[in-house]
Amino acid sequence: MKSAEKGADWLSGSVRAAAVERRLKPGQALFHAGGKTSGFYEVVSGTVRMVRVDRSGREAVLQVASAGDTLAEASLFSPAYHCDAVAATEAVVRLYPKSALLAALEHDPATAKAFAARLARQVMTLRTRLERRNIHSARDRVRHYLTINAGADGATVVLPGTLKDLAADLGLTHEALYRTLARMAAEGEITRAGTVIKLKRAG
């Protein structure tokens, strides 16, 4: 593969070829609210925070993007950014220029379809994650996660990261998650070997 063709494999080669990488120091801004949009970004490494600041100086975090995440997709369809993006750590981002992607959307139906498909899938998983946060009990939240992420056998879940990562994803402290998993295992609802969890029959 050509070096230029790294990153998001759901984008067509021409769009990926137009991508530009940029290195950021902690605290350095990627763009500011009101600035002219130049495209959307993919985080290669580090983390970037999107922040909205109101007149009274209060800040509100809209998103924290880590390696692999994309950000500011909506800016493709708007002339100006509507929030600030600031590197929270040393970070590398890849810019996919607006013009390249919009041109692809116009002239290349396959790319348009792939782009829409990715966004639709993101909407789906975000809705699911949000729905999970409506569950109060830690145990039911874990059940929800396991049920939805069970593999082809409908019972086995291989965690994509550490238990701490999962705890953050579930909106629990890691302590609460450890305890919950321990209890579920003790009561026979699951069996566990490291980050591989198997759901057992209910009842």
Which residues of this protein are in contact with a second copy, per CB under 8 A?
A: 52, 54-64, 73-74, 76-77, 102, 105-107, 109, 112-113, 115-117, 119-124, 126-131, 133-134, 143-144, 147-148, 150, 153-155, 171, 199-202
2: partner contacted, choices a second copy, DNA, none (Cβ within 5-8 A by kind) = none
- Stretch binding DNA (CB under 7 A), from 12-20, 46-54, 62-70, 130-138: 130-138
Nearest approach in angstroms of CB 80 to DNA is: 34
138 near DNA, rule: CB under 7 A:
yes
178 near DNA, rule: CB under 7 A:
yes
Whole-number Å distance between alpha carbons of 198 and 81: 44
Query: Nearer to DNA by C-beta: 22 or 174?
Result: 174
Looking at residue 175, its amino acid is E
176 near DNA, rule: CB under 7 A:
yes
6 near DNA, rule: CB under 7 A:
no
CB 83 within 8 A of CB 33: yes
| HSE-up (13 A, CA, CB side) for residue 137 | 6
Whole-number Å distance between alpha carbons of 122 and 81: 21
Nearest approach in angstroms of CB 83 to a second copy is: 9
Sign of CA dihedral 41, 46, 82, 120: positive
Sheet architecture: strand order including 156-158: 156-158, 196-199, 190-193
106: partner contacted, choices DNA, a second copy, none (Cβ within 5-8 A by kind) = a second copy
- Count of beta carbons in the 10 Å neighbourhood of residue 26: 12
CB 12 within 8 A of CB 108: yes
178: partner contacted, choices DNA, a second copy, none (Cβ within 5-8 A by kind) = DNA
| Count of residues that bind DNA according to CB under 7 A | 20
What are the Cα distances from residue 95, in Å, to 3, 39, 129, 141, 155?
15, 6, 27, 36, 39
133: partner contacted, choices DNA, a second copy, none (Cβ within 5-8 A by kind) = a second copy
149 near DNA, rule: CB under 7 A:
no
Which residue in 6, 22, 139, 198 binds DNA (CB under 7 A)? 139
Looking at residue 52, its amino acid is R
